[in-house]
Amino acid sequence: MKQDIYQKVTDKIIADLEQGELTWLKPWNAGNMDGRIIKPLRHNGVAYSGINVLMLWGAAIESGYNTPFWMTYKQAKEYGAHVRKGERGNLVVYANTITKTEEQDDGSEEERKIPFMKGYSVFNVEQIDGLPEHFYSRPEPVIDPTERIEHAEAFFAASDADIRHGGNRAFYSGGSDHVQMPWFESFRSPEAYYATLAHELTHWTKHPKRLHRDFGRKKWGDEGYAREELVAELGAAFLCADLALTPEPGEEHAAYIQSWLKVLKNDKRAIFNAAAHAQRAADFLHGLQGKEVATQAVA
């Protein structure tokens, strides 16, 4: 019987949430890497995206891996290396469509695209012997934290969003299409400020003139609200990784966890959809950057 990929991944996220843990913040909380935190990388240096980021971050924490590179058994073999005996792979997923030609009642043929999801195993390079040395080196630490924050400042400014400061609440107002933030000085750290701003700007991307994201929210705290908050939470995590920021769990997470659990338990595809929407939001914000800014932010 085929393994239900959606259910397996959802069960893992649910298990973490029930322990009060946020899978997408684990890399920072556990201090699993010296230096800057980055997204998991394929063998060719291309970063994973969406749900695969969460899955591999979680796997790295569980096993204590310090390097971000992952590859298949076959890819390791192509480098003349080998996966150590007894090592177990970690699941990643690949979404695509197949085109099927169907005959209609009138005898004509019509093509229909059918989405599917495929799972396969990858191994962290710490499970593999004989790879080139660069796979085993840890990311260089960011020496100058001031410079890193400047990159974040430039990144968010390039969005050209209407960001206003004042008060003691952070929120996105769809009616006036603006992000409201408390003053920078009121946050416990610069990272906390930028992580919060990343969260609210992910909400900002849902506007009809941007990504037009709508989960049918009718009131505060309903399922549509919980789904949108989950997207913003993951979007902020992805952006913080891209910008080498180190967020911490916010005070509001305890309240959100119960609503997220309800959504995830009712829909095994919810975390996949949330991660996909979050990735689109992050990509949208990256797309607003000038070339120089974008290069600095991810260098």
Q: What value does the mean pLDDT take over residues 268-287? A: 95
Average pLDDT, the chain: 84
Residue finishing a domain among 104, 139, 174:
139
Greatest Cα pair distance in the chain: 70
37 vs 2: which has the higher pLDDT = 37
Name which of 13-27, 77-91, 97-111, 139-153 the model is least confident about. 139-153
> pLDDT value at position 38?
76
3 vs 21: which has the higher pLDDT = 21
Give per-residue pLDDT as tens, 8-55.
888 988 988 998 888 777 655 544 344 456 789 999 999 999 999 999
Give per-residue pLDDT as tens, 242-273.
998 887 776 677 778 889 999 999 999 999 99
Same domain, 165 and 55: no
Same domain, 132 and 148: no
Q: Which two tokens stand for residue 165?
A: 């400061």
Same domain, 157 and 293: yes
For the chain, give the percent of residues with pLDDT over 70.
86
Split into its structural domains, the chain has a count of 2
| pTM: predicted TM-score of the whole model, two decimal places | 0.77
Same domain, 122 and 265: no
Give per-residue pLDDT as tens, 137-190.
765 544 344 446 888 999 999 999 999 998 888 999 999 999 999 888 888 788
> pLDDT value at position 218?
67
Alpha helices per DSSP H over 118-216? 145-157, 190-204
Alpha helices per DSSP H over the chain? 5-18, 26-29, 51-63, 73-78, 145-157, 190-204, 223-242, 253-266, 270-287, 291-298
> pLDDT value at position 122?
97
- Kindly indicate the confidence band of residue 82, based on its pLDDT and cuts at 50, 70 and 90: very high
Residue finishing a domain among 110, 139, 168:
139
Residue finishing a domain among 116, 139, 162:
139
Q: What value does the mean pLDDT take over residues 85-113? A: 87
Same domain, 97 and 193: no
> pLDDT value at position 142?
44
